[in-house]
Chain A
Amino acid sequence: MNTRLATILLLASATTLAACAKKAPEQLPPPPAETTQPYDPGPQVQPTGPGVGTQAHFAAAVGSSTTIFFDTDRYNIDSQDAAALQAQAQYFARYPQVTFTIEGHADERGTREYNIALGERRATAAKNFLVSLGVDPARIAVVSYGKERPVALGSDEASWAQNRRAASVIIN
């Protein structure tokens, strides 16, 4: 442990020396600190799960509310979506430094270009709702993937319902 400390101090002083390559340092770097006992981190201070600014932290806080779903060809926020977006808005109010993207998606049962536009519509609807709940629009980016990124792979109503979605994804 004191070796590690020594290495750090050595590297720090080396950097200092490198920065002032053309002249000798005005004072010599301090000697490594003497410690007589092994390093003791003290009682366990684990962070509660992943840190703020990760998708995992967001998902742990709001659960399945990271994503809202839509009916075929629709882009309106229904009551279930509203509840999920409320949960998101509360999270974003609590962590004002977090920025995020809303990804809009459509199911495969649509033509490709229309679905890109529809995905953008869905993501924008989610964004507008969050803004109405007080989230700063500057924190929200929007991207549409149309039908290019399904999460459910079947060609049936159950799969399509899972793919018609707007998912909030943390950026930082």
Chain B
Amino acid sequence: MTKTLVFFLTVALIAAPAAAQDLGAPIGEDQPVESVAVEGDDADGPLRGTVTDESAWSDIGIAIPAFATDRERATPANANGTGALGREIARVITANLRNNGLFKPVGPDSLPQPAFAQITAPAYGTWSGRGAEMLVHGYVRARDDGRLVVGCYLYDVALQDELVREGWVVGPADWRRAAHKCSDLIFSRLTGESPFFDSRIAYIAETGPKDRRVKRLAVMDSDGANHRFLTLGSATALTPRYSPDYSKILYLSYVDGNPRIYVYDIGTGKQTLVTENRNPTLAPRWSPDGKSILYSMAVAGNTDIYRVPVTGGQSVRLTNTPGIDVGGSFSPDGRQIVFESDRSGSQQCYVMDADGSNQRRISFFGGRCATPEWSPRGDQIAFTRIAGDFNVAVMSPSGGGMRVLTRGWQDEAPTWAPNGRIIQFFRTERNTGRSGIWQVDLTGQNERRLPTPVDASDPAWGPIRP
């Protein structure tokens, strides 16, 4: 019986026929973005090392005029052609930096438009009187095959030298990704931090009255653009997670009447059960290498955490205590898992090795610890801190240095930006139950709401797109 079961599971994860009733049309797989070398003035080589300005990088003025085009051409990316597209790209970059409280960006609508030749040889005289220490230039060229070549350049105005340059070839539908790649290039070069703009977010879109919420699985870019619904809403969808390669989404659905977790394949728009087990299953998670799935299963009142290969096969039970053990977030090296458990009498956070051994509690401050998430940088764990109200907090992986970052009534379920420096969470409004996705950075600053078409909850931030 076990052998048959293992074979059954190994052959394919099971397509549940009823599940097809709630799935919308597939949205198609990610197309790759090709990085290309772009021409520049290499006489001295690009500037390495620190920027010239002595002030903190958050005070740096940065001018982002419209990207130039070598030749006005029609493009599916913009109804008014490549010139107009160049302006839009600059707007996306400006919004990225401004919305995240980064530097002091001035966008294309307040700046003169550089000519194509100036992109690689800026007219520094034009820019030096404007209080911008840094200057972004770029170009967009439409190829005969319809794909776009986007070049991105960062210059130090005072030193009159190039800091960094890069280029990308994208399909016209992916033009925003080039703007995000350029934003990431600028951000990383000036702060030394890892990038985060070119990423997607999976989340739950909510509508309807508080006792009959309609909850749909949805995805969007990190700035809220390119929004798509993946389920129709006839069944409640909860707690999604993007796979590390962006090809799949794990999530919980009540489509067969019970809480069950599915792997949704983005390319095909179809989904399969993670496990055939009929006990309630919840809280699905990916391992950093995308090869394993963690899930929690409730058996006769007791919930524990299990691990199963993504290709199917035997589940391994990781926790085995008479309490509710739920969730789990891997350290970026895949060696440890932080999870929540009420085995001590209230929800607290624990760390264990990836095989379930060495389980130890790490949260010892007042209040409860829930929904822990390990930072992609490995240096912090974000969690929901419950002490009367629910707030987003962070601590070191050993449980020290706890800092509360938000002050809402019910802020819940933090998720990390790919660079481990910004946290998204959802905030629920008292009484109405309305919810939205919010963002705050690790210093507790720049708290702001992410625009979504309707109410939103359960955000899950994916990694940097390749």
Contacts and interface: CB of A to CB of B under 8 A. Distances in A.
A150 B210 contact: yes
Interface string B317-338: 0000000101100000000000
A113 B329 CA distance: 14
B346 interface: yes
A120 B347 contact: no
Interface residues of B, number: 41
B255 to A, nearest CB: 13
A113 B296 contact: yes
A140 to B, nearest CB: 12
Given A113-B326, A114-B324, A124-B300, A108 B346 contact: no
Contacts of B239: 112-113
B370 A114 contact: yes
Contacts of A73: 342, 346
Nearest to A159: B431
Interface string B233-253: 000101100000000000000
Interface string B213-250: 10100000000000000000000101100000000000
B431 A155 contact: yes
A118 B210 contact: no
Contacts of A113: 239, 282-283, 296, 326-327, 371
A130 to B, nearest CB: 14
A95 to B, nearest CB: 23
Interface string B366-385: 00001100000000000010
Contacts of B88: none
Interface string A111-129: 1111011101100110010
4 residue pairs, one from A and one from B, having the closest CB atoms: A124-B301, A117-B303, A120-B298, A117-B324
Given A108-B433, A114-B326, A143-B258, 4 more contacts: A109-B410, A113-B326, A121-B324, A143-B280
9 contacts: A111-B370, A113-B296, A113-B326, A117-B324, A121-B301, A143-B258, A148-B215, A153-B210, A155-B433
Interface of B: 209-211, 213, 215, 236, 238-239, 257-259, 280, 282-283, 296, 298, 300-303, 324, 326-327, 340, 342, 346-347, 370-371, 384, 386, 390, 410, 412-413, 428, 430-431, 433, 457-458
